[in-house]
């Protein structure tokens, strides 16, 4: 029987990638030819990162603009590449990464050269501060969302434009993940391309028709997907603790970014997959995405998509902890909530769906995972054709179910695992 103070066994401890400096293992590194050394430095950079970006505008700035009635002149300046940039005063809220990147880039000029070449896109986090976000469109997945309080869709358009303008190769974004904010894609699709600045419209067209190679529809069912309290949390749901559901390890001001994808989840997850909470019908985001493509004349079938499922953790539950410690603390908080509910309701800790034998077996064999599931495009059924669903039906609940508990036991998800710092 689980308890809030149980010892946590985490799959990431075994299967996540490790990054080390090549000079710490090979004393003759400096004697190798420069070209080979640069390749080794590049090999040390992670081949996959998932980076969450919140686009916002400072509240004080918006209040001042409203008081003075001034509007900032946009699309009037160029960057170091000679490309026109938006000049939009948006801020990018990006949690701090693990420190390996800054350490490697500051070893010497040679390492810095390799770093800048690999992470070729560099955009400022704010208009007035030196901090920058360095990206590699070929390998990074960007999970983008607007701050619902302090940013409008024009800030998203400006950011997308600036990503293209800041890439020496003109790609900007190749792997895009959206859907955590339900209205971002819908509002983006409502914009008339003719009403945008010509440079912004051109950048959006280029992103959608040439740059983006993969789209990920994000599914964030909330922490209730791991501790399901029957009808108190999900329609037609049972009391069930779903410990298989992977958790996105973004805690406080830090996040894990580099990950490794396993071809399939090796854990015994079928019991949990047969009763999985997914929130709003995931096909909705794909429909909105395809509607956006159609608006810019891009055939929907040209960009493959998958569903990215994870429980985005509550940043306020870890008390400033980081890495593995923060992940374990989150799991403890979830277990404590589950135990309290089951005690108050006089139900067994195994819930309503597991037998004692199943519960004992899973307690022994099921490891927790910090990461995400990737499901194929047919997982939730056919996505309606663009134009077959009116906008009011997309926004409302007449076509898409607002909350869902589904049986995905016949589907085998890939599992992305993050590297957790000790």
**pLDDT tens digits, 185-203:** 999 999 999 999 999 999 9
pLDDT at 332 over 50: yes
Structure tokens at 227: 């501790």
Q: Per-residue pLDDT averaged across 262-269, rounded?
A: 95
DSSP state of 301: G
pLDDT tens figures, 64-108: 554 444 556 899 999 999 999 999 999 998 887 655 566 666 777
What is the mean predicted confidence (pLDDT) over 341-359? 93
Strands 311-312 and 247-248, bridge-based pairing: parallel
pTM of this structure: 0.90
* Separation of alpha carbons 248 and 312, rounded Å: 5
**Cα separation, 318 vs 420, whole angstroms:** 15
> What pLDDT is stored for residue 41 in this prediction?
73
The DSSP secondary structure of 294-315, one letter per residue, reads HHTT--GGGS-EEEEE-EE--G
Answer yes or no: are the C-beta atoms of 402 and 280 closer than 8 Å: yes
Q: 395, 186 in Cβ contact below 8 A? A: yes
CA distance 364 to 359: 9
Contact (CB, 8 A) for 90 and 159: yes
CA distances in angstroms from 174 to 145, 155, 170, 272, 285, listed in the order given: 16, 20, 11, 32, 18
Q: For residue 253, give the nearest of 358, 184, 304, 323 by alpha carbon.
A: 323
Question: What average pLDDT is seen over the chain?
Answer: 86
- For residue 358, pLDDT over 60 is answered with yes
What is the rounded end-to-end Cα distance, in angstroms, of the chain?
27
Dihedral sign (CA 353, 355, 356, 360): negative
Pairing of strands 175-178, 140-146: parallel
Alpha helical stretches, state H, 260-355: 270-273, 283-295, 323-344
Instruction: Tell me, letter by letter, the H, E, C secondary structure of 343-360.
Output: HHCCCCCCCCCCCHHHHH
- CA dist 307 to 179, 189, 213, 335, 379, Å? 10, 20, 15, 27, 8
pLDDT computed for residue 59 by the predictor: 67
Task: Show me where the domains of the chain are located.
Answer: 1-20+213-422, 45-184
Which residue would you say has higher pLDDT here, 57 or 169?
169
Q: Mind listing the pLDDT tens digit for each residue in 220-258? A: 998 889 999 988 888 878 999 999 999 998 765 677 788
């Amino acid at each position: 029987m689980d308890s809030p103070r149980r010892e946590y066994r985490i799959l990431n401890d075994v299967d996540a990638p490790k990054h080390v400096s090549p000079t710490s293992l090979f004393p003759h590194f400096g004697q190798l030819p420069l070209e080979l050394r640069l390749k080794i430095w590049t090999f040390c950079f992670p081949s996959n990162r998932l980076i969450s970006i919140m686009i916002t505008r400072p509240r004080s700035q918006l209040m001042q603009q409203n008081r003075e009635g001034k509007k900032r002149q946009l699309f009037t300046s160029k960057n170091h590449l000679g490309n026109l940039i938006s000049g939009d005063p948006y801020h990018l809220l990006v949690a701090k990464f693990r420190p390996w990147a800054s350490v490697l880039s500051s070893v010497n000029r040679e390492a810095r050269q390799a770093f800048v070449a690999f992470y070729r896109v560099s955009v400022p986090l704010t208009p007035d501060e030196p901090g920058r976000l360095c990206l590699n469109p070929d390998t990074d997945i960007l999970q983008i969302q607007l701050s619902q309080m302090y940013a409008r869709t024009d800030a998203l358009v400006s950011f997308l434009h600036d990503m293209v303008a800041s890439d020496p190769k003109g790609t900007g974004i190749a792997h895009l993940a959206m859907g955590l904010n339900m209205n971002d894609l819908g509002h983006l699709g409502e914009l008339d391309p003719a009403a945008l600045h010509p440079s912004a419209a051109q950048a959006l067209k280029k992103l959608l028709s040439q740059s983006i190679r993969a789209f990920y529809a994000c599914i964030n069912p909330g922490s209730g997907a791991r501790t399901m309290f029957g009808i108190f949390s999900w329609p037609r749901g049972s009391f069930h603790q779903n410990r298989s559901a992977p958790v996105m390890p973004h805690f406080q001001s830090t996040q894990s970014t580099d990950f490794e994808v396993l071809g399939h989840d090796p854990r015994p997850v079928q019991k949990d997959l047969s009763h999985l909470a997914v929130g709003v019908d995931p096909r909705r985001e794909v429909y909105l995405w395809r509607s956006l493509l159609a608006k810019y004349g891009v055939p929907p079938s040209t960009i493959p998509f998958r569903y990215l499922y994870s429980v985005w953790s509550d940043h306020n539950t870890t008390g400033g902890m980081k890495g593995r410690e923060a992940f374990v603390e989150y799991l403890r908080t979830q277990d404590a909530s589950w135990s309290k509910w089951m005690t108050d309701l006089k139900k067994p800790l195994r819930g309503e769906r597991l037998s004692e034998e199943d519960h004992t077996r899973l307690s022994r064999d099921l490891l927790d995972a910090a990461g995400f599931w990737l499901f194929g495009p047919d997982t939730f059924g056919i996505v309606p054709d663009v134009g077959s669903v009116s906008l009011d039906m997309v926004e409302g609940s007449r076509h898409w179910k607002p909350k869902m508990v589904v049986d995905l036991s016949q589907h085998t998800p890939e599992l992305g695992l993050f590297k957790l710092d000790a």
